[in-house]
Amino acid sequence: MNSPTKARLSQQQVAVVSHLDGALLVVAGPGSGKTRVLTERVRSLLTNVPGHFRVLALTFTNKAADEMRDRLSDLGENRQRAFIGTLHSFCLEMITERGKSVGVEGTPHIFEQHKDRKEILLEAIRQDPLLDEEVNQIVDRKDRNRMVDNWLQTISRIKAHPISCAVLSDELDQRVIDAYDAGLRACGAYDFDDLLLLAYRLLTNNPKLADFYRRLYKFVCVDEAQDLNEAQYALLCALCGDAYKNVMMVGDPKQSIYGFNTSSPEYMERFLSEFGAKRIELTENFRSSQAVVSVARSIDPHYLVDAQLPIKGAARVFVGDNEAGEATLIVDEIELLFSQGHPDVEGGVEPSKCAVLGRTRFALLEIEKELRRRGIPFHKRLTANHENESELVDDFQLALRVMANPRDRLHFSALALKWKVTPPPPTATDALKALSQMALASSDSRAKAVVSAITAISQNTARLDLMPAFKLMREYADTLDENSRRAIYEDAAVFQQEWDQYLRSDGPSRTLAGFMSSKALGATQKAHREGVALLTVHSSKGLEFEVVFVAGMAEGTFPDYRAVGRPREMAEENRNAFVAVTRSKRLLYLTYPRVKLMPWGDNRAQQKSRFISVSEVVDG
C-alpha cells in the first residue's frame, strides 16, 4: 500500500485498507471514518493490486456514493474500474443491460411512490371478483382501507424475503401479489422491491451470468451492512456463489434503524459465520465533540470510544411552552449562532452547517413556519425524494413519466383527473399527442403550460434537454400570485438540480427513462444543499452537521408511542435516537414542547423523552 494513504489513516483503518484476500467484517461506530476506509480500500485495490478486474462498492445512500466518487476522482481512468453506487442502482444497471431473461426490456419504469402502488392494488382488487368481495364485505370504510394497506405491506414483506417466502402457503396472499404484479406489468412498470427480486432471480436462474459478474468484480465492498434485509443479503450471496469470498462489509449494529423495511443487523453476524469473515472494529470517533459523544453514550452505554477529538462542544435541552414556543427557541438560537458563532465551530455558523431533525415530519411543522417567517433559508428532506409543493411541477413530473412510458395508464389517468378531462384510450401510443389533446380539452391553464414544457423537450430530437421546460414553467409562474410563483420556482430549482446531477453521472447516454429511474432511486438528489436542513431521522442517515437540533424529544413522539411496551420496537427507537444525536459534529440541542396539540384538537401535556439525560435546560 502507498505510504501517503497510510499517513492519513489510523492503525485500525490501515488494517482494513490493507486487507486483501478473504471476507472481512468491519464494525465501525459513528465518526470512525468508515467512508474514508471504504474509499481508501477501493483506491488501494485499483492502484496496488495487479490484474484486469473491477471493484463493486455498494453504498446505502447516494450521498455516500457521491462522496466516494469525488474522493476517487484523482484516479483518472482507474476510477472507471469501480462501480460505486447503491445496491438498487447496481440492480437497475444489471436489469437494464441483461434483464430479458426475467422479462424486462430496457430500463425498468419504477413506481416508487406509495400512492401509486396503492392505486395499482386498488385497481387489481376491482378487477378480481374474489379480492373485491373480500374487501367489500367489510362495512367500515376505514377498516377496508386498512386491509388494503396491510396487503401492500404483505406484498413488500414477501418480496423482501425471496428465500423464506419463496413458496406461499396462504392462497389469498398469493392471489393478492399476483393481481398486484399483473397491474404493474399492465402499466409496463415495476416497484422498488422488484429491482432486488428481479436481480436475485437473474443471478440464481443464470449461473453463467453470476459467474461472469464474479469474474468481472474481483472485490466487493458493502457499506451500512447493519441495514441489509433478506433480499439484499440473498442477492449478495447469489452474486458470490459458494467459493467467492473477497467481500468486505462495513456497518454498525447500533445504527440499524430500518427494521420497518425488514432490515436487521443479524445479517452482519450471518456474514461473519457463513463467509468465515475476519472481524475488525473501528472504535475511534473523529467526528463528534466530547459533549455529543457523552449524550450518545447515555443512549447506548455499550458505545465505547477509544479515541476522540479534543473538542468540548456543547449539549443543551430546550423546553418550549408549546410547539410554536419550541420552534421559537430553536430559531432564536440559530439566529444567535449566525451572529455570534461558537468557539468550537470553525469559520462561523451559517445555515448549511445546521440541521433540525424530527422523528417524523410532524415534529418539524412549526419550525418550518418559523424559519419561513424570519426569512432564513432552509430545505426539507422528509421523504426519500423531494415532494413538490406546486401543482404545475407535480403535473410536469407525471407528464414526463408517461412520455418515458406510454403504457403508463396510471399516470395518464392521474393527469386526466387533475385536468378534469377524459384519459386517452388504452390503445394510444403517442404520449405527446395524447397529452396535447387532454390539455386542449381542459379549461385549466396549468395543463397547457405543462404540455408546452413537454413539447419544448420533444422538439430537440438530437439530445434530451430539460432546460427549456424549466424556463417555460418559470415564465408561467410569473403570471401567478406570489405564493404560487414561489412554490413553482422552488420546485423547478430542485428539479433542475436533479437534472444537473443526472447529467454529471450519465453523460451523453442520457434518456428520459434513465433519468426518471435514477430520480425514483434518489440518485439525482444533490447531496449538499444550501440552507438549514429539515430532516427526519431516517433521511439524516449518513449526513453530519456542525449544529444539530433534535425536535419533539418527548415521550410518545420520540420514542414513538407505538414502541412502548414492545422491546424490539423500543430497541429500534433507541438506535434512532443514537443516530440522531451522532449526526452532530460540535453542538447538540434536544428540544420538546410542554404541551402538544393532538391531531383531534386536544392539548396534551408532554414529558421529556427517556433519551434525554442532558442537565443544561433552557425554558421557553
Residue 39, burial from CB neighbour count under 10 angstroms (0-12, 13-18, 19+): buried
Task: Supply φ then ψ for residue 221, to 5 degrees.
Answer: -125, 130
Q: Is 30 annotated as a binding residue?
A: yes
Residue in 552, 548, 536, 607 with CA at minimum distance from that of residue 260: 536
Q: Is 241 annotated as a binding residue?
A: no
Asked if residues 367 and 330 have their Cβ atoms less than 8 Å apart, the reply is: yes
For 45-53, which contacts have Cβ atoms below 8 Å and span 24 or more sequence positions?
Answer: 45/219, 46/75, 46/78, 46/79, 46/81, 46/82, 47/2, 47/75, 47/78, 48/1, 48/2, 49/20, 49/218, 49/219, 51/218, 53/81, 53/216, 53/217, 53/218, 53/219
- Reduced to 3 states (helix: H, G, I; strand: E, B; else coil), residue 566 is coil
Query: Residue 36 gets which letter from DSSP?
Result: H
Q: Is 34 annotated as a binding residue?
A: yes
Residues 6+ apart with CB under 8 A from 600: none
Q: Is 32 annotated as a binding residue?
A: yes
Residue in 402, 416, 475 with CA at minimum distance from that of residue 447: 416
Residue in 419, 395, 528 with CA at minimum distance from that of residue 469: 395
Q: Is 552 annotated as a binding residue?
A: no
Place of cell 459458494: 242
Q: Is 35 annotated as a binding residue?
A: yes
Residue 121, burial from CB neighbour count under 10 angstroms (0-12, 13-18, 19+): buried
Residues 6+ apart with CB under 8 A from 584: 288, 289, 292, 313, 544, 545, 546, 547, 548
For 174-180, which contacts have Cβ atoms below 8 Å and span 24 or more sequence positions?
Answer: 175/128, 175/130, 175/131, 176/121, 176/131, 176/151, 179/121, 179/124, 179/125, 179/127, 179/128, 179/131, 180/120, 180/121, 180/124, 180/151, 180/155
Residues 6+ apart with CB under 8 A from 269: none
Sheet holding 314-320, edge to edge: 378-381, 532-536, 354-358, 545-551, 584-593, 314-320, 617-619
DSSP 164-228: TTSS-S-HHHHHHHHHHHHHHHHTTEEEHHHHHHHHHHHHHH-HHHHHHHHHHEEEEEES-GGG-
Q: Which residues pair with 355 in a beta bridge?
A: 533, 548
- Reduced to 3 states (helix: H, G, I; strand: E, B; else coil), residue 481 is coil
Q: Is 162 annotated as a binding residue?
A: no
- Reduced to 3 states (helix: H, G, I; strand: E, B; else coil), residue 555 is coil
Return d(Cα 273, Cα 278) in angstroms, integer.
Answer: 10
Q: Is 31 annotated as a binding residue?
A: yes
Annotated binding residues: 28-35
Annotated binding residues for ATP: 28-35
